[in-house]
A and B are shown apart, each in its own frame.
Chain A
């Protein structure tokens, strides 16, 4: 078992007769990994399995070599900000983070220092002494994140961590994830806002109906999907002319000209051949201002892999 990876080996989880996840085989390397899938697809179950909050019915799972059934060891290296919005009644943000650190065995002065440092990292220092019950949704999100990172874990699991954050804090939080992952740690998160994970994830795991649909870097996943044409958006001076030239190529499946006459959407079965064709067209004197891959974001992957059932 790898001591630097999270490894799922044929893991299944059922809640009675309801499927959580089914026969999951995964290796998650360090870096930012996003779990993406529709509601009820099994993202939270995967996260809870990693954190030992639920147990697999079948298969084995190791988080950096540690079994989730051994919380005494696992939780030393794992921090988990769950989606559950509750906090112990009456506790302030500082108390909330401090309690977690005391359970980690830090001395009180050390725990207090770490608690304030964690609150500072999520920009919550000023509200630290206020009751969590009085926090806004975004602040609760941040205090949970502070508790998860306070003991400096090697594996950080975050369920919908960007929900309710304002743009500035969102940017700071994403920067925090990047900083964390850069140190060889795992940052595993789930999100419904597909575009945002597309921007900063090292790899994406697409999940639907409890099964892994695809995994890897988005671009790589896209390249493997040969049965679906790739889409490119071209900005050019004469879209009709470029379209007519491209229609002569066998790899081009479809071309749509936008009403402005300058934008062209091309679908091709062969990305390399398409690049060569574009080069030839450009060399022939046609002006092509920009070429943009239109379907390398997570939304497009959904369309292809899950059939739009988001």
Chain B
């Protein structure tokens, strides 16, 4: 039996357990959480589109013609019945010089794609806010942010922790690791077989999660807009996101597999690695190369947005490290993974069955 056949046999036997392990079932929740959010947003957008579409519409030219200072009656005469028209009175004015109550009015108009919110004070239009019902560009940026800040930094990180730590440590706790050690395979081969099983499971779960999220992002948008995006860069982006998710599992998986062999408490490596990855952008160039996140950020097709109003510390922690070229990033990540797996193979050769101390 060749080494590859042995690795595949081990992975095949291990796969079911990895996919359906009670101990790491929460990983599915982690992978699908953004899908739920994006799907919720998509469904809400569709409903709003439908609800607003049922009401009166104005032309886009009309929507752009609203100017401050116009009266409510002028607007109604020009644009017709609004989707919403609410009036209310503010008893106490902000400006003490003015006398009497402040009569307010709020109208909304819809042109099929955009919504205009008109605010009136004492009968005069004081502000016009036009916002698109759906903003494809903005949604794509939000997806990039969710992918990099949630999936890469948290979802895949902790998902791999849950899956790969349990490959050996979980079996120690279940007192079943000796069955593998009694197989006529080298320990290194066993390690690779288990790693492959974990990788298949983690990569499937998280690439599927990211792909579903991507699908939910596209769902409420107009089919023409979506088709144009997909045919230009959309499929390419999807492929890069999937590759980044899979590479995340490759990198973090190897680290947590090794951690499961070397340490009993998974909290310790998780905290240390999380801090290491978060502080990566402050580190010298050479140390940045020892971070999984450093390479993953370079593979992502769209830079993650950063809110300028976010606290300085948060911005500092989330700021990306100096990027590498995509192929250098992939090669670098695979190199780091190979190093970690080599260290893990040394550890697994020394590993002894001693359930009593677990």
Contact = CB atoms under 8 A, between A and B. Distances in A.
Interface of A: 15, 48, 51-55, 69, 71-76, 78-80, 82, 84-90, 99-100, 102-105, 147
Contacts of A105: 1, 5-6, 9, 184
Interface string B10-27: 100100110000000000
B184 A102 contact: no
B90 interface: no
Interface in B90-120: none
Given A84-B175, A88-B179, A72 B357 contact: no
A71 B186 contact: yes
Contacts of A90: 16-17
28 contacts: A48-B353, A53-B178, A55-B352, A71-B181, A71-B182, A71-B187, A72-B184, A73-B184, A75-B182, A75-B184, A78-B182, A84-B176, A84-B355, A86-B176, A87-B179, A88-B176, A90-B16, A102-B9, A102-B13, A103-B9, A103-B184, A103-B185, A104-B183, A104-B184, A105-B1, A105-B5, A105-B9, A105-B184
Contacts of B175: 84-86
Contacts of A54: 352-354
Nearest to A88: B176
B286 to A, nearest CB: 36
Contacts of B77: none
Contacts of A69: 349
A76 B186 CA distance: 12
Nearest to B21: A89
Nearest to B16: A90
Contacts of A86: 174-176
Given A15-B354, A54-B352, A84-B355, A100 B187 contact: no
B51 interface: no
A100 B179 contact: yes
B350 interface: yes
B185 A52 contact: no
Contact of A87 (B6, B176, B355): B176
A104 B180 CA distance: 11
A105 B185 CA distance: 10
Interface centre among A72, A87, A100 (most CB of B within 10 A): A72
Interface centre among B6, B10, B13, B357 (most CB of A within 10 A): B13
Contacts of A74: 184
A244 B176 CA distance: 63
B181 A52 contact: yes
B314 to A, nearest CB: 41
A79 B184 CA distance: 10
Contacts of A71: 181-187
